Structures are given as structure tokens and as C-alpha cells.
Amino acid sequence: MKYRLQSMLSALAPTLSLMVIALIIIVSPVKADYRQHPSAVAVINTLVDKHGFSVAQVNAVLKQAETEQRILDSMTNAAEKTKTWTAYRSSFLSPFRITKGAEFLVAHKSTFDQVEQEYGVPREIITAILGVETNYGGYTGKTRVLNALSTLAFEHPRRSRFFTSELIEYIVLCREQQWDASEQLGSYAGAMGMSQFMPSNYRRLAVDGDGDGDIDLFEPVDAIHSIANYFIHHGWQNAQPVTSRVAVRQDFDVALIGRGLKPNHSVARLAEGGFYPQDKMSPSVKARVIRFHDADGDEFWFGYQNFYAISRYNPRSKYAMAVYQLSLAIEKQAKDNPQVSS
């Protein structure tokens, strides 16, 4: 028996070796030299004409970029696309993440006191963003940002325009921050720091919260201020609702659901179509019907302007709802902790 097993393994060895080699090729970055890519012309011209780079400087950066197939695979298999709402929610509203969120509120109470007064964005919402994005800074990504943005700019036709713009912004940001473009690490989509800002947001919306003259989103004070500023930029309304659970009439008007997350109908109009918020709302307030399909039935919600503001971080209803519900769970946990005051 032992001899036969050894013989079988020996026979399979060449095949197994080829499979291992193929797997290494698939998962390993591949040197691309994007200087020669047809789409690189626009990148080079923009950086030279609008930002004062030399052609040689841009080529030196693009030469270092590598193609990573796993980045393209991650874009295709994002959790928002593949998980049910129940599974998605459970992955973020874990006891560990809720407890860590409450602890984060305690650790940064003075910063949150200042930020709430200045921006009017609740500390629990900011903390939930940090929890969902990076587990409160515990994991900010291990992908080379240059690889992520180059791969998606040059190898992902559907999102090429967006990521080409972000690649340009990243190269400018590296000059501004005096970073080596080949060394910065982030998400598979090129987001960076505790707050996971894309390069354009890092350049325009990041804030020097601690006043040390340096904007560093890998540090909590700057990250907290910057998230608050991001929400204000995207229309956060202080002391206004985020969502309401909705009861529906049996013959509700499906046409009122539509696509997108920006509020598009008044509560009164939605009530005419068979959608009734479970919270008391002014009939004139605008909302968007959010529908979650799941194995045990559908859930209906109204998303208001603040729900839309959360979704500017990630334009998926599951994401925005997970952030909001995590914020509520963190708030409840914090109230049970006498060290946290509102």
C-alpha cells in the first residue's frame, strides 16, 4: 500500500509542480512597464502639462508599477456584490468590532468632543466608518498603491477612467507628501490610511487635525477630523435622521424603488405608493426606498440625505446600512460603559 502511494505521488509530481508554478504566476505581481501602454499617454500629458512633472519623472514611476491579477479578482468578488444582506451585516456587526468601537470612543474622547462641535458629525458614525474600513486602524491594507491604481487604470476597462484619474492624483500626492510612490501600501482599490481615502480625497478633504503641520491619515486624530470633513463635503445634515424602517402595502409601487441612493421622492409621495416609515417624518422630507433581498424575506428602508452621505464612502446600500447599524451598536455599548459620555 505504501509503495503504491509513493508511486502515485511520483506519477503526479510533474502535474503538481506545474499547478504550483501556474498558481505562483497567477497570484504574483507581473512587471508591466506601463510607460508603453496606449493609455499612459494621457497620464503622462496630464502630469506634465497640469502638474509640472517631467516626462522622465512620470516614466520613472510608471516603470515601477506591476500588474496584479488578484486586484482585478477582488474588484469582481467584492462582498457587497456576493454576500446577502444578512451575511454582510453579520461580518461587520460582530461583538468584537462593536466592543473595539466603544473602546475607540473612550481612547479618543477629547478629539471627538472637538470634532462634533466643529463639524456636527456624530462620533459613532465616524467610529463605525473606521471600524468597517480598517478595524479601527488595525488593518490598512498590504497592496502597493501604485500597483492597485495602475492595474485598475490600465487593465479594468469599465472603471479605467476613474482609476486613471486616481493614479494621476496619487503621483501628485506622493510629490506633495514626499513619499516614494512604489512603497505606499493600501487597499486593493488604492485607498490609504485608517480612513481609507482615495488619493483625490486625501489631497482635497484630508485635515491636519492635530495641527502638527502634517496630514497623516495613518494616525487617528487626522483620520477622525478628515472623515468628519468628508461627510460635510457630501452634505451631512447635523441632527437629522439617517434611515427609517419601512412597512409596505401589498400592492406597493415597484417603480418608486429605482436605482441609486440619492433621496428622490418626498415621504408623502412614497406613502402614496405604499411605503410607510416607522418613524414620524415630515411629509416633505425626501427619501430613497432601499430594498434588501434575503433568504428570509425582503427588508424595506428609507434612506435620507445622511444615508446618502455615508454611501459616498462606498456607493452600496449594504455598506451604508452596515456602517449606520454598527454606529448604533457602538453607541449602545458605549452608553453601558460609564467611561464614555455623550
Could you identify the residue written with the cell 485607498? 191
- Rounded to whole angstroms, the Cα distance separating 308 from 21 reads 46
- Rounded to whole angstroms, the Cα distance separating 174 from 181 reads 6
Q: Catalytic amino acids?
A: 133
- Rounded to whole angstroms, the Cα distance separating 127 from 184 reads 24
Which amino acid is residue 238, in one-letter code?
Answer: N
Would you give the distance in Å from CA 116 to the centre of its chain? 22
Question: How many beta carbons lie within 10 A of that of residue 38, not counting itself?
Answer: 7
**E strand or H helix at 290, and its extent?**
strand 286-292
- Rounded to whole angstroms, the Cα distance separating 65 from 292 reads 39
- Rounded to whole angstroms, the Cα distance separating 85 from 53 reads 46
C-alpha separations of 275 from 67, 244, 292 in Å = 47, 11, 14
Would you give the distance in Å from CA 304 to the centre of its chain? 20
Query: Is-contact 340 109, C-beta < 8 A?
Result: yes
Q: Which residues, in sequence order, are CB contacts of 191 under 8 Å at separation 6+?
A: 133, 141, 197, 198
